[in-house]
Structure 1
Amino acid sequence: MDDIDKEIIGLLRADSRLSVATLASKVGVSRGTISHRVRRLEERNIIVGYTLKLRPECEPPHIRAWMAIQVEGNRTNEVIAGLLGEPNVIALHDTNGRWDLMAELRAASPADLSTVLERVRLLKAIRHTETSILLKTYR
């Protein structure tokens, strides 16, 4: 990946709907070059999809929470496998420090979140968890 690829990725991160012509104009290369490079980035699984973002107030109502997870011994892969099967885990991160993993959770209601927490805590390789509900997002 060279500087042109990085510039294309940066522009698409800011607005994934930019046309090939607009990208070509901003990067200073031909439309054919943009098409070829984007296709190559997709084929190499560097670009794996395109998405949209909604303003937070336009999101359907739901509860988001962060769960910090401490794993028993060297059983992180076991916990990861269990969490990846949980539909309410929308992101999972390996971390350093006190916590081994951070899971971002989404639930429809407090009762739904409680059920999700119960399911996650049933994973035998989890030593300890701490969950914080996100109250407001600024960015």
Structure 2
Amino acid sequence: MADTLHKLDDTDRQLIALLRDDARQSVSQLAQRLKVARGTVLNRLRRLEHSGVISGYTVRLRPEAEPHRIRAWMGIVVEGSSTDAVLKALRGEPAIATLHSTNGRWDFMAELRADSLEAFDRALGRIRAIDGIANTETSILLSTHKV
């Protein structure tokens, strides 16, 4: 897939941007917006899906649709050579929606989700108790803004 990512042209990138904005657009709508034939859009979609560049389609909910859902970012510092063990433990944590390895201050950034403050507190306790985690810092997301 790495080779495929480097071979994306402007039309591929525009198609992906349109899908990110609204993946329910019809092939005809996409073709019209890209000013290309429907067949071109279909072929590119098949190629992007087959190569794994597009790995799936999903539903994005507005934050207001889940008003009581708590979301947060957690920065995680790992002790010494515990990265593999910590990663394995984090992958099993149900409160973690996404997990990213990073450079700089944090070894991992995790997006946490919980249905209540109590559930959020329990998730924080479970994560902080994982052997090999040296430090964490968590920020609750208050609002989301479209870029």
Say whether the fold is shared (TM-score over 0.5). yes
Q: Would you identify which runs of 4 or more consecutive aligned residues in structure 1 move more than 3 Å? A: none
Q: 1:7 aligns to what?
A: 14
Q: 2:114 aligns to what?
A: 107
Deviation at 1:71, TM superposition (A): 0.3
RMSD: 1.6
**Counterparts of 1:136 and 1:25, CA distance in 2:** 34
**Counterparts of 1:129 and 1:24, CA distance in 2:** 46
Which residue, 73, 76, 80 being the options, matches 1:69? 76
Q: 1:25 aligns to what?
A: 32
Identity %: 53
Deviations 1:44-64 (A, max 9, x none): 111111123333222252111
Change (3 A) 1:101 1:7: same
Q: 1:124 aligns to what?
A: 131
- SS for the counterpart of 1:70 is strand
Deviation at 1:35, TM superposition (A): 0.8
Deviation at 1:38, TM superposition (A): 0.1
Aligned pair count reads 139
Which residue, 131, 140, 143 being the options, matches 1:133? 140
TM-score, with structure 2 as normaliser: 0.85
**Counterparts of 1:135 and 1:34, CA distance in 2:** 38
